[in-house]
Amino acid sequence: MRSNTEPDINTAFTWWSELPAKWTPVGWKDHMFRFNILYNGMLLAIPDLNTRTERWKGQGLVVGFFPSEKAEFPGWVSQPQDNNSVVQGWMPCDAPVLYSEWARDALVLRQEVFAHIPGGQAVRTGTEPLFAWVRLSISDTVDGLPAPDTYGFNIKLNAPYLIAGGMSIRYNLGYDLERSAYPRELRAETDRYDSARGLRILEPDGKIRTAIAPNQSCCVEVHPSTPTERDFLLFVGIDVRKGSSVDLLIPMLPTEPDVFEKELALGYDGALEEANRFWSARPHTAAKFSTPEDHIHNTIEHNLKLAEIVAERNPETGYYSLLTGSWIYADVWATPGAMHLVMLLDTMGYHSVVEKYLRPFLEEQGRAVPVGEHFRPHPGSLTVPRSLRPIDWTSDHGALLWAIAEHALLTRNQDFIDEVTSVVVKACECIAFWRRIDTHDGIVGLMPPGIATDMPTHIQSVWGDAWNYKGLATAVKFLRRLNHPRAEEFAVELEDYKRTFGEAIRGATATMPEWNDDAGHKHRLVPLAVWGAQPFEYRNAFYLDTGPLVLVFAGLLNADDELMQSTLKWFREGPPAKVYRYDSDCWQVPSLYHEMSSCEPVYSWNVFHSWQLGDREKFLEGMYSLFAGMVSRQTYTACETRGGITGLIGAMLPTYLARLALVDDQICEGELHLLRLIPLAWLQKDKVTRFENAPTEFGPVSLSAKLANEGRTLEVSFEPQFRVKPKQVVLHIPPVTGLEQVMLNGKILEWDRCKAYLIISKGT
């Protein structure tokens, strides 16, 4: 066996720094609105983030919190930059309560924020009054230093004046102070804080914009038009005593007094009690994942919560939709959305949640086609509802078909299967129909030229074909499980699709430029499209993110194929890797750094090459890079690009890899593999790695593993609930130094040490 030296999460933290200038959503499941909290505690209440919410334009609010001993406000803090002085995290409770901490003047000051709707129940309309409860407190003091008697926060109210959207690091946030004046005059209802009543900040029509709760031990100063005429400043001071605090209530929208007063009377603690009760509920099918590395399971657990916050119920359509982002991208990009559904929510057993978010795609079938003049309408086409759709990619249909069919395979929910079988059949017919379109100059038998990504070119992209093939392949597996009469018809279609693509990609590669690796071996670039790609696209980051690396995940090429080996070498160590600049422009010539994409980490498809080849070193390097480099180690929000847009539910890929490391039903058709790529860091003597109720295509299983007997014994517990029995169950033996014995469910197994696996069960 090998030594125990391989990367763990702490190793990966040395490769990647914390995400800078991040924002993290705080909200309520499926509400049309959500708050975003910046890296410095600034609260954004911006309701109008897309065409569906334009009616609330002009009602947003930005609230800045700035620790201070008195009411003073340096001008620079209106345009802050992330200097790592604020530390954030989640409070240890069921409700997502985000804290931000400052260390100032021998004090540790804390802000805690959570969202609440009246009644604390699931949304019915999606536009119920939404409130942010904010608690400001003295969390601690620095021993040995004199502290002031009172301290507090300057709280500045403005209209939304932040500009977000840049993908490049250090350019993801901007400030337009000319837009910062609140559009209506704000006034305090009284000139001083009344403990019995609190203090409300009112709009001209009497609606309430924010309030300091009653029964607080604090002093309040109100300074309209301070520090500039565009600002409204409150100073709230509290006694310097560990645990002393003051509560604020901030609605998403200016709120009628009768609604506001009921929420205010509930109080911070009462609202939190309801929120904890609401968030404690989990689907009965939910899995539980835990490892000795807290960051791993914390990332997964918090992204499960964030997923339903970055979602909405549209009262006009009744649709529940999983959005792509909490601030920017508050619409639905179907392809990454399908990844969210399968790789995060279904992987963790949130099956009822997935079905809720799949509903719009099922009901909208046949209503749109990808962007491309040669695509033709078909009743089986899968797409995003128009009100949610920023663009149609050629990949979207296949990605949605994959999500639908894979969900059916994982759940065996007969009601869902009965509903979607015709949807799946029509979607397969659609792929066959589009493959036969011959009105273009490209290759017939593949997807016609169209918009593959956010690039404007109309091409026959490997990205589009990869996803449509993946969707068709999963649909065939699903239909075969049903013994559907058309399963073999579509299996023939699938085989022809793979053959046609293989011929096309190899023919196109033969025309591509050559390059030499360090050993002097010649290679050719593998194209990102078999027809129509422009030269500039090979310099673009999407050549890595949506190019040929995806073909292994799709099943169109194997990882040991010469084309895939050359492509990996190009991105790992080829000419682009030699000019890589760490944490710089995401639009640099793309390459892999510690097995993560230099542009969008979630599209690091190379990890599936390492997974298929059983390359532990590269697989773990990629998985840990994604957990450390794509996800905030403080709030677990994910980025599109490092230092770029955050507030995304991007942890689906590392979650899926963690699942495959432990429980893998994808590596060999009809087989279940256990512990195939488990990190050694997850095998300890005093802590257990557990994956309970883990969904598989054979049924849920529970698996746990730990070391015993001074590290000489591997103890494994495995409890399957098979609905379909796999051909065989394979237990892989991790490369633990000094391992002598393997126990399964309390019984010692006979183990040939020349083999790194044991077959523990065979089907009939």
Confidence label for 391 from pLDDT (cuts 50, 70 and 90) = confident
The residue with greater pLDDT, 71 or 402, is 402
Classify domain 288-664 by CATH number. 1.50.10.10
pLDDT digits (tens, 9 = 90+) for 596-613: 999 999 999 999 999 999
Angle at 523 between CA 520 and CA 529, to 5 degrees: 160
Q: What is the pLDDT of residue 1?
A: 41
**Region 350-378: what's the mean pLDDT?**
96
pLDDT at 586 over 90: yes
- For strands 741-744 and 747-748, give the pairing: antiparallel
Q: Compute the chain's Rg from CA coordinates.
A: 27
Contact 97, 25 (CB under 8 A): no
Q: What is the share, in percent, of the chain residues with pLDDT greater than 70?
A: 99
Asked whether the CA dihedral 437, 438, 443, 445 is positive or negative, the reply is positive
Coil, helix or strand for 666?
A: coil
Q: What is the pLDDT of residue 67?
A: 95
User: Hey, where are the domains in the chain?
Assistant: 31-257, 288-664, 671-762
- For strands 741-744 and 713-720, give the pairing: parallel
**Region 175-199: what's the mean pLDDT?**
96
One-letter amino acid of 762:
K
pLDDT at 245 over 90: yes
Confidence label for 78 from pLDDT (cuts 50, 70 and 90) = low
pLDDT digits (tens, 9 = 90+) for 289-332: 999 999 999 999 999 999 999 999 999 999 999 999 999 999 99
Q: What is the share, in percent, of the chain residues with pLDDT greater than 90?
A: 93
- Cis geometry, peptide bond prior to residue 448 (ω within 30 degrees of 0): no
Confidence label for 3 from pLDDT (cuts 50, 70 and 90) = very low
pLDDT digits (tens, 9 = 90+) for 508-555: 999 999 999 999 999 999 999 999 999 999 999 999 999 999 999 999
pLDDT at 279 over 50: yes
**Region 705-734: what's the mean pLDDT?**
98
Q: Which of 214-218, 696-700, 725-729, 749-753 has the lowest mean pLDDT?
A: 749-753
- The whole-angstrom separation of Cα 106 and Cα 264 is 32
Main-chain phi, psi angles of 720, to 5 degrees:
-90, 150
Confidence label for 77 from pLDDT (cuts 50, 70 and 90) = low
| pTM (global) more than 0.95 | yes
pLDDT at 2 over 60: no
Q: What is the pLDDT of residue 68?
A: 94
- The whole-angstrom separation of Cα 29 and Cα 306 is 9
Confidence label for 764 from pLDDT (cuts 50, 70 and 90) = low
Coil, helix or strand for 446?
A: strand
Q: What is the pLDDT of residue 155?
A: 97
Confidence label for 168 from pLDDT (cuts 50, 70 and 90) = confident
- The whole-angstrom separation of Cα 674 and Cα 212 is 54
Q: What is the pLDDT of residue 757?
A: 96
Q: What is the pLDDT of residue 4?
A: 54
pLDDT digits (tens, 9 = 90+) for 400-446: 999 999 999 999 999 999 999 999 999 999 999 999 999 999 999 99
- The whole-angstrom separation of Cα 89 and Cα 59 is 28
Confidence label for 80 from pLDDT (cuts 50, 70 and 90) = confident
Residues forming a β-bridge with 131:
116, 251
**Region 233-247: what's the mean pLDDT?**
97
Q: What is the pLDDT of residue 277?
A: 99
Q: What is the pLDDT of residue 480?
A: 98
